[in-house]
Amino acid sequence: MKTLLCLVPLYLLPLLVKSDVVLTILIFTFVLSILAVGFNIVFGGAGQLTMFHAAAFGIGSYVTFLSMLRFGISFWLGFLVAVAIVILISIVIGWICFKFRLKEFYFAVVTLAFAELCRLVALNWTSVTNGTLGMLVLEKPTVWLPGSGVVKIEQTGPWYFLTLVSLTGVLIFAVLLMRSWIGRNFSAIRLNEDLAQTLGIDTFRYKLLAFTISNVIAALAGALYGFYTGYIEPAYLAVTQSLDAIAMVLLGGVSTILGPVVGALVLTSLPHLIELPAEMRVAVYGMILILVILLMPRGIVGLFAGLLKGRVNAA
């Protein structure tokens, strides 16, 4: 839990930094961190290489917005509808995959196929989703604050705090989850599923739980992302979106709490730190990613944790 104190400076940052560019980069970092934290629960926790998180991300944004539009409800109620639908879809897909004992790449391929299926629905169900053109989101989330009542989240400042508070909430949940018996069972499944089963752990149920939790967290990221950018399109559900989150987790450190956040920060801010022609950019990031994974197999956070430990042992 103490590791989360690292987030405190972020709450004070807007007092010092007024630059909209910096705050905007951080907002994207926070939202994508939420997606990466979710992926880290099912992959870094329970060891299941899912490719469905981008689909859950997209479903989160589409369903939240569409239910606001259709039922005239608030952002948060719309998000609850999205959560319900994501839970339902996760249970169906998870049930199919885990009943048939799909593992590693087989699980990845099947979840990818389901994710593509969802993307094609978003693309082709034009009467509802507006197809490739996507949808403009003019509605804004509202929050109730003590003292000022119901506030619309419109400016960069409020968005900064909304996304940061959401990320903090998700991280606190992830810490509680991973240190509880549920997290212990996840690690047991990741490290030796057969042994976990002989110790009485219902591995089917816990894999399903990890998959569902990570998808719900991805849906939160998707809802925030769609409303912050003010635009929702089928590309949110694309495989590249899933791969981005995976790259963040690998870069920051698998199975660490802050790894996904660090990875998201690096991958979101890098394009703004190194100005390159668009074609060069992808190649250069690819190179950086390959080098980091080769040189720091446990990610940035893993590397620093190792250095700290080494220093303690040496002293």
Partner 1 sequence: MLLKVENLTKRFGGLVAVSDISFAIEKGEIIGIFGPNGSGKTTLLSLLAGLLPPTAGRVFWKGRDIAGERPNVIASLGVIKTFQNPQLFSELSVFEHVMIASFLAFTRMKDHSRLRSFLSPAKGETTLRLRAEKALTLCRLQDTATKPAAELSYGEEKMLGVAMAMMCEPELLLLDEPASGLGNDEIQNLENVLRDLRAHGTTLCIIDHKVAFLAKFADQAIALQQGCKIAAGHPYDVLADPGVVKAYLGRSHHA
Q: Which residues bind partner 1 (CB under 8 A)?
A: 176-177, 179-182, 184-185, 187-188, 191-192, 194-203
Rounded to the nearest angstrom, the gap between the alpha carbon of residue 282 and the centroid of all alpha carbons in its chain is: 21
Closer residue to partner 1 in complex, CB, 126/180: 180
Q: How far is the CB of 170 from partner 1 (least distance, A)?
A: 16
Q: How far is the CB of 177 from partner 1 (least distance, A)?
A: 8
Q: How far is the CB of 197 from partner 1 (least distance, A)?
A: 4
Closer residue to partner 1 in complex, CB, 11/181: 181
Structure tokens at 294: 């080769």
- Judge whether 32 and 215 are in contact, CB under 8 Å: no
Amino acid, single-letter form, for residue 172: I
Q: How far is the CB of 313 from partner 1 (least distance, A)?
A: 13
Q: List C-alpha distances in Å: 86 to 21, 64, 96.
A: 33, 11, 15
Query: Any idea what the Cα angle at residue 38 is, between residues 253 and 155, rounded to 5°?
Result: 100
Q: How far is the CB of 92 from partner 1 (least distance, A)?
A: 21
Closer residue to partner 1 in complex, CB, 86/196: 196
Closer residue to partner 1 in complex, CB, 117/191: 191
- Judge whether 86 and 59 are in contact, CB under 8 Å: yes
Q: How many CB atoms lie within 10 A of CB 180?
A: 11
- Judge whether 230 and 212 are in contact, CB under 8 Å: no
Closer residue to partner 1 in complex, CB, 69/177: 177
Q: How far is the CB of 202 from partner 1 (least distance, A)?
A: 5
State the maximum Cα–Cα separation within the chain, in Å, rounded to a whole number: 66
Amino acid, single-letter form, for residue 77: L
**How far is the first Cα of the chain from the last one, in angstroms, to the nearest whole number?**
25
Closer residue to partner 1 in complex, CB, 71/181: 181
- d(CA 196, CA 78) in angstroms, rounded, equals 38
